Amino acid sequence: MTTTEEDRTSATASSVPRRWLIAIIAAALTAAALVAITPWPRGFQGAATGDAGLMADVEQSLGSRHWQHVAAARIDGDEVTFAGTGADEHTEFEIGSITKTFTAALFADAIDRGEVEADTRLGEVWPDLEGKIAEVTLESIAMQRSGLPAQVPAPNFIDGAMSTLSNYLHTDPYRANSAQIVTSLIDVEIGDPEPEYSNFGFAVLGQALVEVTGMEYADLVAERITAPLGMKETFVPDSAEGLSHGYTASGLPAAPWTMSGSASAGAVRSTTHDMSIWLRAVRDGTAPGANAAEPRAEFEGGDRIGWAWFTTTNRTPNLTWHNGGTGGYRSFLGFSAETGQGVIVLNDSANDVDAAASIISKKGPRS
């Protein structure tokens, strides 16, 4: 008897419990309803705070979108100027993938402490690993050229479906815990070792640091970075309870992200006050693991990459930078090693703020 494509589809569907199909359909209908009631863009909301000139520059660079609360900082040497709308320098935001600069700093610091080496292989961290995955080095992960996939592999159909639906329900899509991140390495497919941005890679790098140090990721951030630098408003949340939420690009509420076992790729929460401390300490080389920011190889789009940090090659002046994005937040942090200037913008909507780079740097090489 010949099996048709229709038969195979039917068999796949019947293998999924009926209650899960009902739940998935209901979630999809809910997502469609939310799209239907999406509010229109409204511009900047809330009262202005801090320096009016900086806020004017922020508004000009970001343009008219659906903004909720925005906080910014401009750094010039040791001088820091803050501004915001509906927020100030102590308002808490998810910083998204700027978290990777913390993870990269912890990696560099662990090297300085003799806990790992740049070329430590995953097979040395977890001896049970075999094949190509065992040969992946920590440095290749930190430089976004490990061959690991961009996202955490879904352990099963249900988790994969729920992670996909989270994009429409505006919930945290990162469901895998620490043990599942490590277990997923056994069967993961490794691509070519070429530049490719990987959240999964930084989840793995974070878990590797946890393994070799015997400390949880949140404790590593607290004890090795935020406490020494006096960053009292920066932390890795252990649950979503009590956390503020952000908004989608069009203004719908979006649940906070704690990212479970992938926290080292994007779960840190902070303020522009603390991010200004972080920017200056990395720029000045006084932060633990500050040498992570040094460019080491070519990346895409004309940028160079260090460990997590990117450095432009087509601006005046060039910036060392990273940005971030979660379901309801966007962020940008960049500085010029040449001028000592820096800029930070944190925003609780899913509208990107990368254009804030124009506040301290222009497109195009020096004339």
Quick: pLDDT tens for 176-215. 999 999 999 999 999 999 999 999 999 999 999 999 999 9
CA dist 146 → 126, 196, 198, 309 (Å): 16, 8, 9, 16
pTM: 0.87
Q: Looking at the domain assignment, is residue 211 inside a domain?
A: yes
Q: Looking at the domain assignment, is residue 14 inside a domain?
A: no
Q: Looking at the domain assignment, is residue 18 inside a domain?
A: no
Considering all CA atoms of the chain, what is the largest pairwise distance in Å, rounded to the nearest integer? 78
Q: Which domain holds residue 103?
A: 48-363
CATH at 314: 3.40.710.10
* Percentage of residues in the chain having pLDDT higher than 90: 77
Structure tokens of 338? 């040449």
Model pLDDT for residues 236-268, shown as the tens digit of each residue: 999 999 999 999 988 899 999 999 999 999 999
- Rounded (5°) CA angle 290-330-222: 40
pLDDT at 63: 86
Instruction: Grade residue 335 by pLDDT with cuts at 50, 70 and 90.
Output: very high
Mean pLDDT computed over every residue of the chain: 89
How many whole angstroms separate alpha carbon 149 and alpha carbon 198? Answer: 6
Q: Which residues are paired to 325 by β-bridges?
A: 330
Q: Looking at the domain assignment, is residue 259 inside a domain?
A: yes
Model pLDDT for residues 109-142, shown as the tens digit of each residue: 999 999 999 999 999 999 999 999 999 999 999 9
How many whole angstroms separate alpha carbon 104 and alpha carbon 139? Answer: 9
How many whole angstroms separate alpha carbon 280 and alpha carbon 8? Answer: 58
How many whole angstroms separate alpha carbon 329 and alpha carbon 217? Answer: 22
pLDDT at 64: 75
Question: Is residue 97 a contact partner of residue 310, using CB atoms and an 8 Å limit?
Answer: no
| Number of Cβ within a 10 Å radius of residue 11 | 10
Q: Looking at the domain assignment, is residue 156 inside a domain?
A: yes
* Cα–Cα nearest to 84, from 268, 276, 230, 316: 276
Model pLDDT for residues 148-186, shown as the tens digit of each residue: 999 887 666 566 666 666 666 688 999 999 999 999 999
Split into its structural domains, the chain has a count of: 1
Q: Looking at the domain assignment, is residue 43 inside a domain?
A: no
Q: Give every CB contact of residue 143 below 8 A, 6+ residues apart in sequence.
A: 296, 297, 305, 306, 307
| DSSP-assigned letter for residue 349 | B
Q: Looking at the domain assignment, is residue 37 inside a domain?
A: no
The radius of gyration of the chain from alpha carbons, rounded to an integer in Å, stands at 21
Structure tokens of 224? 């090795």
Q: Looking at the domain assignment, is residue 12 inside a domain?
A: no
Q: Give every CB contact of residue 28 below 8 A, 6+ residues apart in sequence.
A: 165, 168
